[in-house]
């Protein structure tokens, strides 16, 4: 039995009576004061102290820090500045469950893909919630580079935002302006109530959002490759993300992103970005271009998988192995059949890869 006992000093304590008349007293509550025989609940004033802005997708614990114009140690920008190579995954399914699994698996970041995935802003929010539960930074890839999509995405509070089809430094400057409040940019302001600022609770948001946000511009056309160095030099562009599939399509090799001419064009773009001296190089691993090979060429962010592709390959292999075993009368051939099927899956992945 639990009772509330009052003392003459005007304080209250919860007391629990256990067997054998043992009593446990819980800490006295500062919210409960007594005034004579009448009691009332008093809500103290909350004193908010400025702190370094935290993205809602990052739930890593830490002591409050004074607001300073530098990324927090948990952020993607800080890790890039520390010369880390980050490995991530693209989420096309918009499944919060797969988002959570991806975070628990240990990916450094997850890109929620609104360009090629079926979901929009509200669907992305559920995925950001799932990633936040694992402390995994989220990046939102926009359907198109425009102020409206950028505004709605940024209000959700991702650590990064990715702009597709950036072909010139002028387009890159516009993308950066979509991420900045006036007078530095054109982003619409609702910072007092949106998730990015902790719904207005984070008083340090306006002082630090520029330093916390990772702005990524995709180069995925021949024209973009020619201007890659200038795009990488634009103030505010943190990463240039290479798009091998759209680049191969623009060159007439839609079904062959590993074509020699496409690879040569990719190298031109890579040298341009690295020569710009400001932006980091990011990209997709391909069957002909492994993550470690990309790291050796200067990539600091590598996306090595797509959730839909991972599930597709696992599901197709599982069903095919079962059906092959049904028709296989010779147990001695099982290992050979498995090896043959794995080779077929590898060939299929070499021919098909989805951003």
Query: Would the pLDDT of 16 be above 80?
Result: no
**What is the tens place of the pLDDT at every residue in 249-294?**
999 999 999 999 999 999 999 999 999 778 999 999 999 999 999 9
The domains found in the chain, sorted by start residue, are: 76-311 (3.20.20.60)
Strands (E), 116-245: 138-141, 160-163, 214-219, 239-242
Catalytic member of 116, 129, 259, 288: 116
In percent, how much of the chain has pLDDT > 70? Answer: 73
* Angle in degrees, CA 251, 237, 266, rounded to 5: 25
Query: Would the pLDDT of 193 be above 50?
Result: yes
Predicted confidence at residue 347, as pLDDT, reads 61
Predicted confidence at residue 40, as pLDDT, reads 45
Predicted confidence at residue 71, as pLDDT, reads 75
pLDDT band at 344 (very low <50, low <70, confident <90, very high): low
Over residues 314-334, the mean pLDDT reads 81
Phi-psi group of 266: left, alpha or beta (phi > 0 → left; psi -120 to 50 → alpha; rest → beta): alpha
191 is catalytic: no
Predicted confidence at residue 174, as pLDDT, reads 98
Predicted confidence at residue 9, as pLDDT, reads 43
Query: What pTM does this model have?
Result: 0.76
Predicted confidence at residue 129, as pLDDT, reads 98
* Angle in degrees, CA 124, 125, 126, rounded to 5: 90
Exposure string (b/e) for 239-254, b if CB count within 10 Å is 16 or more? bbbbbbbbbbbbbebe
Query: Would the pLDDT of 77 be above 60?
Result: yes
For residue 267, how many C-alpha atoms fall within 13 Å in the half-sphere facing its CB? 10
Query: Would the pLDDT of 238 be above 60?
Result: yes
Highest mean pLDDT out of 15-24, 54-63, 95-104: 95-104
pLDDT band at 334 (very low <50, low <70, confident <90, very high): low
Angle of helix 96-105 relative to helix 121-134, nearest 10 degrees? 30
* Angle in degrees, CA 103, 104, 110, rounded to 5: 10
Over residues 172-195, the mean pLDDT reads 97
pLDDT band at 74 (very low <50, low <70, confident <90, very high): confident
Predicted confidence at residue 328, as pLDDT, reads 74
Over residues 35-53, the mean pLDDT reads 43
pLDDT band at 348 (very low <50, low <70, confident <90, very high): low
**What is the tens place of the pLDDT at every residue in 80-134?**
999 999 999 999 999 999 999 999 999 999 999 999 999 999 999 999 999 999 9
Predicted confidence at residue 23, as pLDDT, reads 44
Predicted confidence at residue 338, as pLDDT, reads 65
Residue 136: alpha-carbon gap to chain centroid: 7
Over residues 298-322, the mean pLDDT reads 96
Exposure string (b/e) for 123-133, b if CB count within 10 Å is 16 or more? bbbbbbbbbbe
Over residues 285-313, the mean pLDDT reads 96
To the nearest whole number, what is the mean pLDDT of the chain? 83
- What is the DSSP secondary structure assignment for residue 138, as one 8-state letter? E
* Residue 235 or 348, more confident: 235
């Amino acid at each position: 039995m639990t009772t509330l006992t009052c003392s003459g000093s005007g304080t209250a304590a919860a007391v629990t009576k256990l067997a054998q008349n043992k009593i446990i007293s819980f800490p006295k509550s500062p919210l409960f004061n007594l005034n004579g025989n009448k009691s009332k609940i008093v809500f103290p004033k909350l004193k908010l102290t400025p702190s370094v802005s935290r993205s809602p997708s990052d739930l890593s614990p830490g002591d409050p820090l004074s607001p300073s114009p530098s990324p927090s140690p948990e952020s993607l920008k800080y890790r890039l500045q520390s010369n880390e190579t980050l490995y991530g995954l693209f989420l096309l399914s918009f499944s919060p469950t797969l988002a959570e699994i991806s975070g628990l698996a240990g990916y450094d970041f997850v890109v929620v893909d609104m360009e090629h995935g079926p979901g929009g802003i509200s669907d992305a929010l559920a995925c950001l919630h799932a990633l936040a539960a694992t402390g995994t930074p989220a990046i939102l890839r926009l359907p198109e580079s425009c102020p409206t999509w950028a505004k709605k995405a940024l209000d959700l509070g991702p650590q990064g935002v990715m702009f597709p089809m950036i072909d010139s430094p002028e387009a890159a400057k516009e993308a950066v302006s979509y991420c900045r409040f006036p007078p530095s940019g054109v982003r619409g302001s609702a910072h007092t109530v949106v998730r990015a600022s902790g719904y207005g609770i984070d008083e340090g948001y306006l002082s630090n959002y520029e330093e916390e946000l990772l702005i990524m511009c995709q180069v995925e056309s021949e024209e973009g490759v020619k201007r890659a160095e200038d795009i990488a030099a634009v103030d505010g562009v943190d990463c240039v993300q290479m798009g091998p599939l759209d680049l191969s399509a623009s060159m007439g090799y839609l079904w062959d992103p590993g074509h020699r001419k496409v690879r040569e064009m990719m190298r031109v773009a890579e040298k341009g970005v690295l020569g710009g001296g400001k932006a980091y190089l990011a990209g997709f691993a391909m069957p002909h271009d492994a993550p470690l090979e990309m790291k050796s060429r200067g990539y600091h962010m590598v996306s090595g998988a797509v959730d839909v592709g991972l599930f597709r390959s696992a599901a197709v292999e599982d069903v095919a192995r079962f059906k092959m075993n049904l028709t296989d009368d010779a147990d001695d051939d099982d290992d050979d059949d498995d090896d043959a099927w794995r080779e077929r899956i590898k060939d299929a992945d070499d021919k098909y890869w989805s951003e």
